[in-house]
Amino acid sequence: MTIFLILAPYGAFAALLLVTLATASLFAAAAICLAVIAFDVMRGLSIKILGVGSVTTFAAIGLYVAFVDQHLGTASVRFAVDTGIFVVSLGSILARRPFTLQYAREVVDANTVQQPGFLRVNYVITWAWTIAALLMMVGNIAIVYMPSLPLWSGLLIAFAARNSAVFFTRWYPHYRMTKYGAHPVNALPTAN
């Protein structure tokens, strides 16, 4: 369920962007992010770097589109969102607090958190999400600078990058457990 809550704002944004204005899509996604943050707080969980970064990204781009450039194309809006998430993800790595670490600490026991590979697993998984965001940016840049490309090509790249990161997030901790005999660490837990 956690991965669903993490990705819900992005799914809503992408779906709404196909049928409504960019501002409505961006502000709806920001509202969903705020709802996810509130849900976490009500459950006694921490406020996440990714949640705050996502709200900031969606709201800032929404304000830009609403007040500065109402005619910004959808590929440019998607590029801006992907860039914001890339900055949040890479920034968490550079700040030595990979964003997946907050999720992982909430779902594993204290012994697992103390294992030497725990932090490494979270860095690797956060890098996977950073690369996925970069690939989504590339897909959107291609659409912006090669408008003859069909819209679905950019969506296909985004879908493949995101789903690859989800798969990797599920797979990598179990791979580490098998290879090194450590307890699996799910950085972004999923419902089985």
Q: What's the pLDDT band for 115 if we cut at 50, 70, 90? A: confident
Q: Exposed, middle or buried by CB within 10 Å (0-12, 13-18, 19+), for 19? A: exposed
Looking at residue 191, what is its pLDDT? 43
Task: Reply yes or no on whether the pLDDT at 91 is more than 50.
Answer: yes
Using only C-alpha atoms, what is the Rg of the chain?
A: 17
pLDDT per position as a tens digit, 3-23: 788 889 999 999 999 899 999
Tokens 């849900």 identify what position? 39
What's the rounded mean pLDDT across residues 53-74?
96
Q: Which of 12-21, 91-100, 178-187 has the weakest average pLDDT?
A: 178-187
Contact call for residues 101 and 155 (beta carbons, < 8 A): no
Task: Reply yes or no on whether the pLDDT at 155 is more than 90.
Answer: no
Cα–Cα distance measured from residue 145 to residue 136, given in angstroms and rounded to the nearest whole number: 14
Alpha helices in the chain (DSSP H): 2-19, 22-42, 49-67, 74-94, 100-105, 110-114, 116-145, 151-180
Q: Where are the domains of the chain?
A: 2-180
Contact call for residues 47 and 97 (beta carbons, < 8 A): no
Task: Reply yes or no on whether the pLDDT at 185 is more than 60.
Answer: no
Looking at residue 48, what is its pLDDT? 95
Looking at residue 186, what is its pLDDT? 52
Q: Please give the DSSP secondary-structure letter assigned to residue 95.
A: T
Over pLDDT 90: what percentage of the chain?
Answer: 65
Cα–Cα distance measured from residue 70 to residue 169, given in angstroms and rounded to the nearest whole number: 37
What's the rounded mean pLDDT across residues 166-182?
85
Q: Which of 25-29, 88-92, 110-114, 119-123 has the weakest average pLDDT?
A: 110-114
Over pLDDT 70: what percentage of the chain?
Answer: 93
Looking at residue 188, what is its pLDDT? 55
**What pTM was estimated for this model as a whole?**
0.87
Contact call for residues 173 and 187 (beta carbons, < 8 A): yes
Question: Cβ–Cβ contacts within 10 Å for residue 134, how many?
Answer: 17
pLDDT per position as a tens digit, 64-81: 999 999 999 888 999 999
Q: How much is the mean pLDDT over the chain?
A: 90
